[in-house]
Amino acid sequence: MQLISREEIKTLLEQPKGNCVSIYMSTHPAGQEVRQDPIRLKNLVKEAEERLIDAGLEQKQAIALLQKAHEIDTQDFWEQTVDLGLAIFISQDIFRYYTMPLNFQELVVVTDRFHIKPLLPILNGDGRFYLLALSQQDVRFFEATRYSINEVEIENLPKSLDEALQKDETAKEGQFRSRISRGGTSSSSSQPGEFHGQGSPDRDKHQEDILEFFHIIDDVLHEKLREQKAPLVLAGVEYLLPLYRQASTYQHLMEEGITGNPEILSAQELHHEAWPIVEADFQKSQQDVLERFHQLFGGDTGKATNNLKEIIPAAYYQRVDSLLVAVAQQQWGLFDPSSETVYLHEDKETGDEDLLDFAAAHTLLNGGTVYAVPPEQIPYSTPVAAIFRY
């Protein structure tokens, strides 16, 4: 399984405009249904071909554009597909597919950009998080969702304290760089010799070594996580977790962690312990947005609305801070930026796009937060609700 990140979704959205094909379908890892999956894919690719022809391509051009989608339709591919959903993205220069733990509604969209709304639950309530299993002998880093967990090998991440300190030539020469907080001032929490309840000098030195070890881990992870917002859960024996928190610069490190020896826990056991911690955080974040929406909606602030005709231009011009949008629903229409006019259509017309997806895409591109949720979780039975920045 290949988990998709916020950055990958943004990359899909930022591709040059043209004929962009997005295909979503559910898959079945076992049982009689699995034999129907190749037929479903062929039917969806055929539908995409027809829509490309409607958009102005000749049939041979449409067939050529979709050729790579046919190439993945092999027995090996279906035998290895163990997740719930398949998403395929095709344009003149791009071919990507993801098998993911999301049960997609069958959907084919052909517009001048990729359709990404069905992916968004992976970023919130069923979303992505990280897990760092810490011990002096074995460090493991994982990417996970509600449904899955995968260990990730990170270049230069030390696997043990000995590897970090004893095998590092710079460390042997006592040339650790001074630890400066990323704000630019010395961090008192990272200065050696300041542990409360100190014991013997050997014990103090060992704690200093562990803290230095954790600084090295944090430096490596900083490069990977610098643009991320997903929660990070720690797992380790109880006295190690506060030491790592002293060293960590990651802003989304969870206060609650998994205590105990992670070396004896499998990835699945760590996931079982971590998900309740993360789920509570996801739910709180979404609940906070709902409460803010109700506080602002209907007042004189003009900072909250569920009117799609107001939300579309606001998303386009970077005004949306938080967006709640219904999954598995579409609202077809057009947006004219020059006049800021939104046209809504009951049925899809030539040239239309899903304006719910449009709002989600531009909110995401412009640094806002998107919560793709079941329709019943959006206030006042509308398919969308937004909080504006100003």
Burial class (CB in 10 A: 0-12, 13-18, 19+), 276: exposed
Residue 275 pLDDT greater than 70, yes or no:
yes
CATH number of domain containing 310: 3.30.1330.30
| Whether 274 and 134 share a structural domain | yes
| Whether 310 and 272 share a structural domain | no
pLDDT tens sequence across 57-91: 999 999 999 999 999 988 888 877 766 789 999 99
Residue 327 pLDDT greater than 50, yes or no:
yes
| Whether 272 and 390 share a structural domain | no
Q: What is the pLDDT of residue 201?
A: 64
The verdict on residue 153 lying in a domain is yes
Q: What is the pLDDT of residue 124?
A: 63
**Burial per residue of 336-359, b for 16 or more beta-carbon CB atoms within 10 angstroms, e otherwise:** eeeeeebeeeeeeeeebbbbbbbb
pLDDT tens sequence across 194-204: 444 445 666 77
Question: Taking a C-beta distance cutoff of 8 angstroms, is the pair 145, 127 a contact?
Answer: yes
What domain range includes position 10? 1-125
pLDDT band with cut points at 50, 70 and 90 for residue 185: very low
Residue 257 pLDDT greater than 50, yes or no:
yes
| Whether 107 and 141 share a structural domain | no
The verdict on residue 291 lying in a domain is no
| Whether 134 and 275 share a structural domain | yes
Residue 49 pLDDT greater than 50, yes or no:
yes
Question: Taking a C-beta distance cutoff of 8 angstroms, is the pair 198, 204 a contact?
Answer: yes
| Whether 267 and 326 share a structural domain | no
CA 185, 187, 188, 194 dihedral sign is negative
Q: What integer best gives the mean pLDDT of the chain? A: 86
Other beta carbons less than 10 A from residue 123's beta carbon:
22
**pLDDT, average across residues 332-354:** 93
Question: Taking a C-beta distance cutoff of 8 angstroms, is the pair 3, 145 a contact?
Answer: yes
The verdict on residue 289 lying in a domain is no
The residues near 36 (Cβ < 8 Å, ≥ 6 apart) are 28
pLDDT tens sequence across 150-177: 899 999 999 999 888 865 545 445 444 4
Q: What is the pLDDT of residue 34?
A: 66
Beta bridge partners of 143: 130, 150
pLDDT band with cut points at 50, 70 and 90 for residue 22: very high
| Whether 62 and 144 share a structural domain | no
Domain termination site, one of 279, 310, 337: 279
pLDDT band with cut points at 50, 70 and 90 for residue 188: very low
CA dihedral 300, 306, 312, 315 (to 10 degrees): 70
Which has more confidence, 264 or 199?
A: 264
The residues near 346 (Cβ < 8 Å, ≥ 6 apart) are 332
**pLDDT, average across residues 253-262:** 96
pLDDT band with cut points at 50, 70 and 90 for residue 10: confident
Smallest Cα–Cα separation from 105: which of 123, 84, 124? 84
CATH number of domain containing 202: 3.30.420
**pLDDT, average across residues 326-345:** 94
The verdict on residue 285 lying in a domain is no
| Whether 174 and 109 share a structural domain | no
Question: Cα–Cα distance between 293 and 386 in angstroms, integer?
Answer: 7
Q: What is the pLDDT of residue 82?
A: 64
| Whether 24 and 143 share a structural domain | no
The residues near 296 (Cβ < 8 Å, ≥ 6 apart) are 303, 304, 387
The verdict on residue 242 lying in a domain is yes
CATH number of domain containing 15: 3.30.960.10
| Whether 137 and 115 share a structural domain | no
**pLDDT, average across residues 223-233:** 88
Pinpoint the alpha helices (H) of 186-342. 201-225, 240-247, 267-296, 308-316
pLDDT tens sequence across 105-137: 899 999 999 999 998 887 665 568 999 999 999
Share of the chain above pLDDT 70, in %: 86
pLDDT tens sequence across 276-313: 999 888 888 889 999 999 999 987 778 999 999 999 99
Smallest Cα–Cα separation from 246: which of 269, 215, 280, 223? 215
CA angle (22 as vertex; 20, 28 as ends), nearest 5: 160
Tally of domains within the chain: 3
The residues near 237 (Cβ < 8 Å, ≥ 6 apart) are 135, 259, 260, 261
The interaxial angle of helices 355-365 and 308-316, nearest 10 deg, is 30
Question: Cα–Cα distance between 71 and 368 in angstroms, integer?
Answer: 37
| Whether 117 and 145 share a structural domain | no
The verdict on residue 288 lying in a domain is no
Domain termination site, one of 81, 107, 125: 125
pLDDT band with cut points at 50, 70 and 90 for residue 205: confident
Domain termination site, one of 82, 101, 125: 125
